[in-house]
Amino acid sequence: MKAISGERKRTSRLKEKTLDGYNFAYLDDQTKRMIRRATLKAVAIPGYQVPFGSREMPLPFGWGTGGIQVTASIIGIDDTLKVIDQGADDTTNAVNIRRFFAKTAGVETTENTSDASIIQTRHRIPEVKLKSDQIIVYQVPIPEPLRWIEPREEETRKMHALTEYGVMHVGLYENIAHFGKVTTSYDYPVQVNDHYVMSPSPIPKFDNPKMDKMPALQLFGAGREKRIYAVPPYTKVKSLDFDDHPFEIESWSECCALCGSSSSFLDEVITDDKGSRMFVCSDSNFCADRRAKGHKGPGLPRKFEIKDVE
């Protein structure tokens, strides 16, 4: 007599490491299957926003519920997870999400970009080049790049299907006419595989070129608007631009005050209550890694140093 698999009582390998009473990675299997099917279609139609039945999560919208649901549906016990918020591993948001998966999925977590198999991110792509077999999951607040031009969903769907993106170009061009350059510096729209125009989520446009032909799989989850979209590895991702105004990324005349990097995205930070400021890498893991390898920046502003000596 063979055992009937449906009735077999057996401790799942997953339960050994995770909290009792929780589903593995919080979501039930039915929800995961639905999100997994949506994810496969998203991958098959690069840049197209697949609707999915978003679930209630134990975190408010704006905390990356879309990204969390995508991560929960793909993650397994052998994964190593990194979570960043605006480049940093140690913000409340990043720490909470990392803790959430450590508890509900029992996975290893890391701050080291190269050690991660899954990287969930809000508003940045790490400076270190992502590799094949890594997956980056973006938290997306507003998935529709045409929404500011066309509020009606059925209209934007048509525009996407027919690649009617003239209005988008007009909008960006007007931006140039007013300001002399495209001032949209976050969430700058891209076109994927010469078809769908896609919102890259509010990453700085500095990060846009990293999306082009990236060896890692890119997945995007929008919880409130219930959309999943994807860019498969080695896929063409082009930032929208014009012949007379080519796409340009931000650049700084300074280098990172801590590690001396002149190739990373820099944040301007205040170092004391007298308003002393300096520029430092937004990617905290990248910066710490460089410093550990002996790279040094010009240091803190002079004013700060004098104060320090006193």
Partner 1 sequence: MALLQESIDHIPLETGFDDPIYESQIVFRKILKVMSEPGTIKKIKNKLSAPAPMMRATAAICLTLMDFQTKVWLDLPQDSEVSKYLKFHTGLKLVEHSSEADFVVFFTAPAELPPLNLGTDDNPETAATVIIQTQSLDDIGKLKLTGPGIKKSRFLNAENIPASLWDHRVKANSLFPKGIDIILTSDKKLSALPRTTKLKMLKTIKG
Binding mask 28-47 for partner 1 (x = CB under 8 A): -xx-xxx-xxxxxxxxxxx-
Give the SS3 label for residue 40: helix
Q: Is 103 exposed, middle or buried (0-12, 13-18, 19+ CB in 10 A)?
A: middle
d(CA 206, CA 87): 13
255 annotated active-site: no
Using the contact rule CB under 5 A, the part of the chain among 34-42, 127-135, 172-180, 287-295 near Zn ion is 287-295
In DSSP terms, 81 is beta-bridged to 109, 118
Could you identify the residue written with the tokens 């997945």? 219
281 is catalytic: yes
Please report where in the chains the tokens 């790490």 appear, as a residue.
126
How far apart, in whole angstroms, are the C-alpha atoms of residue 260 and residue 240? 31
Look at residue 41 and give the partner it binds from Zn ion, partner 1, none, a contact being a CB closer than 5 to 8 Å depending on partner kind: partner 1
Stretch 245-264: interaction string toward Zn ion, x if CB under 5 A: -----------x-xx-x---
List CB contacts of 294: < 8 A, sequence separation 6 or more: none
> Token pair for residue 41?
């279609």
Considering the complex, state which of residue 34 and residue 149 has its C-beta at the smaller distance from partner 1: 34
Binding flags for partner 1, 51-70, as an x/- string (CB under 8 A): x-------------------
Q: Which of 9, 12, 274, 294 binds partner 1 (CB under 8 A)?
A: 12
CB of 174 to partner 1, least distance (A): 28
Contact between 103 and partner 1 (CB under 8 A)?
no
Reading the block at residue 67, the tokens are: 């990204």
- Which one is catalytic: 21, 47, 62, 221? 47
What residues make contact with Zn ion under the rule CB under 5 A? 256, 258-259, 261, 281, 287
